[in-house]
Amino acid sequence: MFTPACMDAAEFELWQRANRDTHHPAQRPCFDCPLWFAAEMRAMDCCNGEPGENGPRHRTIVQHQGRAYATEEERRAARRQSWRESARRRRCASS
């Protein structure tokens, strides 16, 4: 498991708790690191990561109208299906 050199154990634990409560958790604290802070930590030889590391945050569960989807693509497919059904009902109601 990655442990950032810029944080002590207590700071890292606080970050982990706060990260768990976000809608899109980061995989490492380096994702949230501002460039100026990383530069200061590198000057003090206390940086073992890269700001913004690991790319964009990934959603683990997508909530939509009370249902949970494993991926954003599943949510989109369900929504497209819902739109199709709605359009079919409108066509049937107008004829």
- Residue 51 and residue 83 in one domain: no
- Residue 47 and residue 73 in one domain: no
Instruction: Find the helix or strand (DSSP H, E) in which 64 lies.
Output: strand 62-64
Q: Higher model confidence: residue 95 or residue 46?
A: 46
- Residue 22 and residue 34 in one domain: yes
- What is the tally of structural domains in the chain? 2
Chain segment 18-70, per-residue pLDDT in tens: 888 887 788 888 888 888 888 999 999 999 988 876 555 544 444 545 666 67
Q: Higher model confidence: residue 74 or residue 10?
A: 10
For 62, the token pair is 């997508």
- Residue 39 and residue 80 in one domain: no
Range of the domain at 46: 1-58
pLDDT of residue 59: 47
Predicted structure pTM score: 0.52
- Residue 37 and residue 27 in one domain: yes
- Residue 39 and residue 85 in one domain: no
Provide the b/e sequence for 18-41 (b: ≥16 CB within 10 Å): ebeeeeeebebbbbebeeeebeeb
- Residue 43 and residue 70 in one domain: no
CA distance 34 to 31: 9
